[in-house]
Amino acid sequence: MSAGCQCDSGVAAASRPRLAELSVPAGMLLDMTVRDPDSTPAIVAEGLVKRYGETTALDGVDLRVPAGTVFGLLGPNGAGKTTTVRVLATLIRPDSGTAVVGGYDVHRDAHRVRQLVGLTGQYASVDEMLTGTENLVMIGRLLGLSRPQAKARAAELLAEFRLSDAASRPAKTFSGGMRRRLDLAASLVGRPRLLFLDEPTTGLDPRSRNEMWDVVRDLVGVHGVTVLLTTQYLEEADQLADDIAVVDHGRIIAQGSPDELKKQTGAQTLAVRPVDRADTELVVTTVAEITGAAPELAGTLVSAQVTDPAVLPAIVRRLDDAGVTVGEITLRSSSLDEVFLSLTGRPAEDAASPGTDPADPADTGGAPTGRAGEPATDDPTARIPAATRS
């Protein structure tokens, strides 16, 4: 439970006399609810709608996020992922629909929701002029921790995120990966039970991205935190999420585990690469004749969608009879990229192109935007973790 919630425990007990009579530690029932995957869902949203003028950012979003899991919102820029997070984190109100987070309504009990959640946005919320320790101590003090408690919590998080050696350096000297880890640590100062990660690995190199993935896995597996992750990276969703909701134009167009979504295409992908480049044309012809599909060619790799696994040995026999030596041949289930293509009619790379308007309210939650879509600097709450707001 966050520090802010602990400060309110007396008020909560007075307003719920029956709970006060139970001989269990304060907050134990909530902790059990969030950590038990078979208990009440951590997040339930029904019919969320949000419009900005003529733009519909959310068009009836329904979500059910099991506790103690990673739930992925997958979609291109402008799909409505960030708007959904901002509604669930109580930063904006939906025009219609309901959302319950941690057992509390985001509209009626917004203050309670904020005490339970942490938020790491697309852009770092740390103060670049402060050191790593100073950033975390400041958040701790805002949450009501005493100075010794805030320093102890800062040291604990810096060690956990492998930032102890840089604790006394200004954040502006941190690498991109270090800054993102510090930003995530800041959202955990209040020990939230639910964490919203809004495209946490955007702009990171592959090594830093893998490090962030490990951190997310530990948050769920070791600490029992429920994570709602938004991403436009198909590999990231596949690696981390227990369940995925595919978002497009403000709607959930598909939902399920990564394997369940992959099965929706009803097809597998056959890929064949000849040893001799000169045989590529013959391989293309053979694959087309046997599969009845138009193959795709990438260099010397010939691939096609198939529904009958029996085509694999048939192609091997045909190519062997023709004297073609095969260097690579595989038959695999569909990737999330292919699922996205089948659901939306366009590849994820095209949907998430850099040319997307960064100020699209469907992806910024309608907040005023500055350079490259960052929250405008005149919004004093834009760079403060959600758990510190009241």
d(CA 324, CA 279): 7
Least confident piece of the model among 67-71, 340-344, 376-380? 376-380
Q: pLDDT grade, residue 240 (50/70/90)?
A: very high
Q: What does the pLDDT read at residue 223?
A: 85
The number of domains in the chain is: 2
| Percentage of the chain lying above the pLDDT 90 cut | 49
Average pLDDT over residues 322-348: 79
Do the domain assignments include residue 361? no
Q: Does residue 285 sit in the same domain as residue 249?
A: no
pTM greater than 0.85 (yes/no): no
Assess if residue 105 is contained within a domain.
Answer: yes
CB 164 within 8 A of CB 195: no
Do 241 and 277 lie in a common domain? no
Residues 129 and 242 in one domain: yes
Same domain for 189 and 82? yes
Domain of residue 149: give its range.
43-256
**63 and 164 together in one domain:** yes
What is the domain-level CATH number for residue 207? 3.40.50.300
Lowest pLDDT segment from 120-124, 293-297, 377-381: 377-381
**315 occurs within a structural domain:** yes
- Return the pLDDT at 362: 42
Same domain for 283 and 237: no
pLDDT band (50, 70, 90) for residue 43: very high
pLDDT in tens, 204-228: 888 888 888 998 998 899 888 999 9
Is 338 found in the same domain as 203? no
Last residue of a domain, one of 342, 362, 383: 342
Average pLDDT, rounded, for the chain = 80
66 and 167, same domain (yes or no): yes
Q: Examine the domain organization and report whether 279 and 229 are in the same domain.
A: no
Mean pLDDT of 102-131: 90
* The residue to which tokens 């701790």 are assigned: 140
Residues 95, 213 within the same domain? yes
